Amino acid sequence: MADQKTVRNALLITGAAAAGYFLWKYTQHGSTAAAPVTDVTPTRPTSTAPTKETKMTHILHLDSSPRGSSSHSRMVSGELVEALKAANPGVTVTYRDLGHQEIPYVNETFIGAMYTPAEARSAEQNEALALSMELIAELKAADTYVFGIPMYNFTVPGVFKSYIDQVVVAGVTWDLATYTGLLLNKKAYVVTARGGGGYGPGEAREVHNSQDPVLKSAFGLMGVTDMDFIHINNTIRGDDVLNGALAEAREKIAAIAKAS
Ligand SMILES: Cc1cc2nc3c(=O)[nH]c(=O)nc-3n(C[C@H](O)[C@H](O)[C@H](O)COP(=O)(O)O)c2cc1C
Centroid of ligand 1 to alpha carbon of 112 (angstroms):
35
Mean pLDDT across the stretch 54-79?
96
Residue 31 has pLDDT above 70, yes or no: no
**pLDDT higher than 90, residue 200:** yes
pLDDT at residue 205 greater than cutoff 60: yes
Confidence (pLDDT) at 53: 75
Beta strands in the chain (DSSP E): 58-63, 92-97, 144-150, 174-175, 180-181, 187-193, 227-232
Output 17 or 239, whichever has higher pLDDT: 239
Residue 207 CA, ligand 1 centroid: distance in Å: 17
The pLDDT score that the predictor gives to residue 48 is: 73
Q: Which of 24-28, 37-41, 125-129 has the lowest mean pLDDT?
A: 24-28
Q: Say yes or no to pLDDT of 108 above 60.
A: yes
pLDDT at 43: 53
Half-sphere exposure at residue 102, Cβ-oriented, CA atoms within 13 angstroms: 3
| Separation between Cα atoms, residue 81 and residue 11, nearest integer Å | 69
The angle that helices 72-87 and 239-259 make with each other, rounded to 10 degrees, is 20
The confidence score (pLDDT) of residue 45 equals 52
The C-alpha atoms of residue 157 and residue 163 are separated, in whole angstroms, by: 10
Q: Is residue 61 within 8 Å of residue 82, measured between CB atoms?
A: no
> Given pLDDT bands bounded at 50, 70 and 90, which one contains residue 25?
very low
Protein residue with least CA distance to atom 2, ligand 1: 152
CB 216 within 8 A of CB 209: no
Query: Of ligand 1's atoms, which has the minimum distance to the CA of residue 74?
Result: 26
Residue nearest to atom 3 of ligand 1 (CA): 152
Task: Tell whether the torsion through CA atoms of 217, 219, 223 and 229 is positive or negative.
Answer: negative
Q: Which residues line ligand 1 (CB under 6 A)?
A: 65, 67, 71-74, 150-154, 193-196, 235-236
Q: What is the mean pLDDT of the chain?
A: 87
Instruction: Tell whether the model's pLDDT for residue 107 goes beyond 90.
Output: yes
pLDDT-based confidence at residue 44 (cuts at 50, 70, 90): low
Residue range 4-46+57-259, CATH number: 3.40.50.360
Which residues have CB under 8 Å from 100's CB, separation 6+?
66
CB-based contact 96:62 (threshold 8 Å):
yes
Give yes or no for a contact between 244 and 40, defined as CB atoms under 8 angstroms apart.
Answer: no
Which residue's alpha carbon is nearest to atom 24 within ligand 1?
Answer: 71
**71 and 193 Cβ atoms separated by less than 8 Å:** yes
Alpha carbon of 208 to ligand 1 centroid (Å):
13
Q: Pairing mode, if any, of strands 180-181 and 174-175?
A: antiparallel
Lowest average pLDDT, out of 32-36, 68-72, 172-176, goes to 32-36
More confident call, 39 vs 20 = 39
Task: Give dist(CA 205, CA 155) in Å, integer.
Answer: 13
